[in-house]
Amino acid sequence: MTFEFEKLTILRDAIVAHDSQKYKQKDPFAMKQELAIDVNGLHTDEMEKLFVQIAAMTPTTVDKTFWNQLYSWRIPEGTIAEMLACYMNNSMYTFKVSWIQTLIEKAVIDHMLAKIGYHDGDGTFAAGGSMSNMVAMLVARNEKVANCKELWLQNNSLVAYTSDQGHYSVRKNAGILGMGRDSVRAVPSDGQGKIRLDALQVMINEDIAAWKIPYLLNLTAGTTVLGAYDPIQEAVAIAKKYDMWTHVDASRGGGVLLAQEHKHKMQGVAQADSCTWNPHKMMGVPLSASALLVKKKWIINKHLSEWATYLYQSDDDDLNLGNKSLQCGRRNDALKVRAARKKLWDAGYEARVVKQFAMVQQALKRIEESDLFALVLKPECLNVCFSIKGHQADEICGGLYHQNLLKVGHWSRNGKTFVRLVCVNAELDTQGVDFFFDTLLEYLWNQS
C-alpha cells in the first residue's frame, strides 16, 4: 500500500500559507467563527482549504518577529526527519516494530551521554523537559524510599531543593509523584539568578533537624527567565554529603556543551546523577525532543519497566526501549536529533552556538547604546534581560504583541519589570537583533 502522494501538495500549500503570515490575529471567538473545524464530513477539496486556513491562522515561531520562547528556527533536515517519523508511524517500545529507529535512538543517547561525560550511562526520550525532569524525580524518589515502586509512598517526609529560579515543572512533578508540591524547597538565588549555596546548606540543616529526608537537589543549567547556570560542581558536593540524588535541568541551556568556549558553564555535570537536555531548544531540533540522561546504566529500567508479555515478546531489554520510557506507544524523537546532527556535525553545531552568543553580544551593544535601556544582569545563556526606562515592560511587550510587531516575553524581579529577549534563532543572526531593537525603538517613539 503506498501513500497518496498527491496529498502532499496540501502540505506544500499549507506551508506557503503559514510562512507568508498574512493573517492578522483576532480575538479567539472571532477566530473560531472563521474556521470550519467543527464541521463533519468535509470533501477532499474542502479539507485542503481547511488545512491551508489552519496553517495561515497559526503564528510563526521562526521569523524575525518571534523572540518569545526558548526555541525557534528548526534545522530543515530535522523537520524532514520528523515528517518521515510521522509517515513511517513506528512506536519505539520494541525493536520488533522499529528496527533501525531503535538503534538511532540508542546512538543519539550515547552521543549525548558522551558530551555530558557519563561513561556508562543511559537515557530515554520523553515528551519535553518537564516529563524528563519527572522521570528523574521518580528515579530519585524510588532510590530513596524502599518499596515505593511496588507499594506506596509510606514515608512522606521527603524534601527536594531547587533554586527559586528553577523551572515550575519541579514543583508540579512533586505533586504528580505524591510527594506534594510543598515538598520542594525554593532556595534563594543570588543577584545573577544562581542557587545560593549558603542558603541551601542552612535549609538542609533545618530540614534534617525537623526529621525530614532530603532526597533530591535539582540544579538548573540555564534558568528559564534569567538564563543563569547554577554552580553544579559545588552544589553536587554538598548534596552528596546527604546522599541526595543530584539532577541537572539543562533543558534550556544544555546546548553549551557543544561549544568549547561555553561548556565550562556546566562544569560538574558529569558528577551529577542525571541531566535533562532538550535538543528542541538551543539545538534547533523541531519540538519536541527532550532526553533524560543518567549516569548509571539500567537505573531507569529499574524504576520504569513493567511486565507486559503481550508486548515484549522478542529481543532483549537493551533493545526494547519501552522498558525505560514513561509512555507505552512513543514516536521517535531521536530521528530528528540525529538528522540535525548529521547535517551540522560537531563543528557546525559549535559554530551555531557561537553565532547564538554573538547575537547576545549584539543585543548588549544595542542596550548599551541607548539611554532608554538598562541591562538587568550579565547574560550567561541566550536570554538578554533588560528594562525600559520610564516604561513597564509588560505593557510594552503587550502592545508589541497586539500590533503584530514583535513577540517577546517579560517578567519582574525585585519589583522591576523587564523584557526577556531570547537570542536562540541562529538563522536571524545579528541583523535579526538589530531588527528587534529598531522595531522596539520605533514603537517606543510612537508611544511618546
Distances (CA, A) of 75 to 152, 200, 294, 346: 44, 40, 27, 15
Question: Closest residue to ligand PLP, Cβ-based?
Answer: 129
Shortest Å distance, C-beta 280 to ligand PLP: 7
Shortest Å distance, C-beta 228 to ligand PLP: 10
User: How many residues of this chain interact with ligand PLP, rule: CB under 6 A?
Assistant: 14
CA-based nearest residue to 326, from 173, 166, 111, 161: 173
71 versus 93: smaller Cβ distance to ligand PLP: 71
Residues linked to residue 290 through DSSP beta bridges, in sequence order: 126
Per CB under 6 A, 98 contacts ligand PLP:
no
Per CB under 6 A, 224 contacts ligand PLP:
yes
Measured distance CA(229)–CA(220) in Å, rounded: 6
Site stretch for ligand PLP (CB under 6 A), options 106-114, 147-155, 206-214, 249-257: 249-257
Pick the binder of ligand PLP from 78, 123, 128, 254 (CB under 6 A): 128
247 in Cβ contact with 218 (< 8 Å): yes
Pick the binder of ligand PLP from 18, 74, 115, 167 (CB under 6 A): 167
Shortest Å distance, C-beta 368 to ligand PLP: 27
Site stretch for ligand PLP (CB under 6 A), options 6-14, 122-130, 305-313, 375-383: 122-130
Per CB under 6 A, 278 contacts ligand PLP:
yes
138 versus 148: smaller Cβ distance to ligand PLP: 138
Per CB under 6 A, 143 contacts ligand PLP:
no
Site for ligand PLP in 304-363 (CB under 6 A): none
289 versus 388: smaller Cβ distance to ligand PLP: 289
Distances (CA, A) of 149 to 141, 153, 267, 302: 9, 8, 33, 10
Site string for ligand PLP, 251-270 (x = CB under 6 A): xx------------------
DSSP letter string, 350-378: HHHHHHHHHHHHHHHHHHHH-TTEEESS-
CA-based nearest residue to 31, from 60, 54, 62, 52: 54
364, HSE (Cβ side, Cα atoms, 13 Å): 14
359 in Cβ contact with 426 (< 8 Å): yes
Site for ligand PLP in 61-80 (CB under 6 A): 70
Per CB under 6 A, 90 contacts ligand PLP:
no
Write out the three cell numbers for 147: 518499596
Distances (CA, A) of 277 to 113, 150, 223, 295, 407: 10, 29, 13, 14, 25
Pick the binder of ligand PLP from 65, 72, 142, 169 (CB under 6 A): 169
Per CB under 6 A, 274 contacts ligand PLP:
no
Please give the DSSP secondary-structure letter assigned to residue 68.
S
CA-based nearest residue to 433, from 18, 165, 72: 72
By CB under 6 A, name the binding residues for ligand PLP. 70, 128-130, 167, 169, 220, 224, 249, 251-252, 278, 288, 290
